[in-house]
Amino acid sequence: MPHDTEPALAIAGLTKRFGDKVAVDAIDLEVPRGSFYGLVGQNGAGKTTTLSMAVGLLRPDGGAARIFGADVWSEPNKAKTLVGVLPDGLAMPERLTGREVLTYLGLLRGMAKEVVAQRADELLAVLELDGAERTLVIEYSTGMRKKIGLATALLHAPRLLVLDEPFEAVDPVSAATIKTILRGFVDGGGSIVLSSHVMALVEQLCDHVGVVDQGRVKAAGPLDAVRGARSLEETFVELVGGDRNTSKGELSWLSR
């Protein structure tokens, strides 16, 4: 069992370059166990790259990531048992139905057939994917793909969920269901880190936040400590440089 005092996720000095571009620049982050952690940043800030390296989907150029103390590269089996991942642009077996995807991944993870069947039933019902039992993943809408991706992340009852934009393209009713599932997961002792562009959502759900800008951490910690007396949106815009916003003189040709 992982050591009781280790954080759910500890990232130290993670770095990734794509050609000349430093996408993630020696990032340190700690997701305390039991926390609901929101990672925010502009398009291209480095959130997906960081999370992909943190769960062992992308090999870093430097640094390390530990899940409840298990190093994702030197102890991948241990780390991967403890984490459920919803990656960005999830690659799925497209010619399977949602149930077949869950069955396939459950059995691949060594879960008992009956347990997979029962959990798949519940997940498909709760996420309202049971109506799409006969639909192949290739025919799924973007929101449905997010939901089946979330189901695959939850299936083995991990202790940490790492979710890249879990609410993107999801309708409000499904979003409310997902929020309830995620809150229940944290209330039951689980830990979550999710990325999002929606500050209101992060404020509503998360108790910790990390602000990433141009591959670096600008601020991180408990939500109230990061935002102070302001809204997270105000804090975010100030931290990542309001001066990069469109100035009045630009796009003047749009005015009549």
Ligand X SMILES: Nc1ncnc2c1ncn2[C@@H]1O[C@H](COP(=O)(O)OP(=O)(O)OP(=O)(O)O)[C@@H](O)[C@H]1O
Chain residues binding ligand X by CB under 6 A are: 18, 21, 23, 41, 43-49
Q: By C-beta, is 103 or 235 nearer to ligand X?
A: 235
Specify the residue, 29 or 124, whose C-beta has the smaller distance to ligand X.
29
Q: Which of 187, 131, 192 is nearest to 167 (CA)?
A: 192
b/e for 113-150, b at 16 or more Cβ within 10 A?
A: eeebeebbeebbebbebeebeeebbeebeeebbbbbbb
- Residue 48 or 152: the one with the smaller Cβ distance to ligand X is 48
What distance in Å separates the CA atoms of residue 147 and residue 127, rounded to the nearest whole number?
7
Closest contact distance (angstroms) between CB of 73 and ligand X is: 19
The nearest distance, CB 229 to ligand X, in angstroms, is: 27
Q: Alpha-carbon distance 68 to 114, whole Å? A: 28
- Report how far residue 14's alpha carbon sits from residue 19's, in angstroms, rounded to the nearest whole number: 16
Q: Which is nearer to ligand X, 33 or 216 (CB)?
A: 216
| Least distance from ligand X to the Cβ atom of residue 170, Å | 16
Give min distance, CB of 191 to ligand X, in A: 21
| Shortest Cβ 41–ligand X spacing (Å) | 5
CB atoms within 10 A of CB 205: 21
State which residue, 23 or 162, has the beta carbon closest to ligand X.
23
CB 191 within 8 A of CB 34: yes
The answer to whether 167 and 178 are in contact (CB under 8 A) is: yes
